[in-house]
Amino acid sequence: MCHNLPARLNMARRQIEWANEARVNIVEALGAACVLCGATEDLEIDVIHKTSRDPESHHHRKWNVSQRVTFWRREMEHDNLQLLCSTCNGRKGEPEPHPDETTQLPL
Ligand SMILES: [Zn+2]
């Protein structure tokens, strides 16, 4: 163990550990599965209704991990969070493919 770490770095590390733990708690509270396909890996916390509180809508402002966790917790109280796997999250915003189109490849 290195005891010469600057106190600020130590704090930052503890904050990241705390945020990671908080994130896991939020994911579990949300069911720990993608709401679209049920995947349980590569989950991302998604804000259902983008609001002015959304850090993604304030690109000029850099949110630190604890601000992000605080934001997620607040949105969760408003039932405004859902889980998406990275695949479904990447697809978001595009029109849902018709079920027939996904099962029938064009010849
Ligand atoms: Zn998914």
On average, the pLDDT of the chain sits at: 82
- CA of 26 relative to ligand 1 center, distance in Å: 17
What residues have their beta carbon closer than 5 A to ion ligand 1? 34, 36-37, 39, 85, 88
How far is Cα 84 from Cα 43, in angstroms, rounded to an integer? Answer: 6
pLDDT of residue 41: 94
Contact 19, 64 (CB under 8 A): no
Residue 54 burial (CB < 10 Å; 0-12/13-18/19+)?
A: middle
Task: Return the domain boundaries, the chain.
Answer: 9-89
- CA of 81 relative to ligand 1 center, distance in Å: 15
Residue range 36-41: average pLDDT?
96
Neighbouring CB atoms inside 10 A of 83's CB total: 23
pLDDT of residue 43: 95
- CA of 89 relative to ligand 1 center, distance in Å: 7
Contact 60, 75 (CB under 8 A): no
- CA of 41 relative to ligand 1 center, distance in Å: 9
Q: Is the pLDDT of residue 56 over 60?
A: yes
Contact 16, 65 (CB under 8 A): yes
Rounded to two decimals, what is the model's pTM?
Answer: 0.70
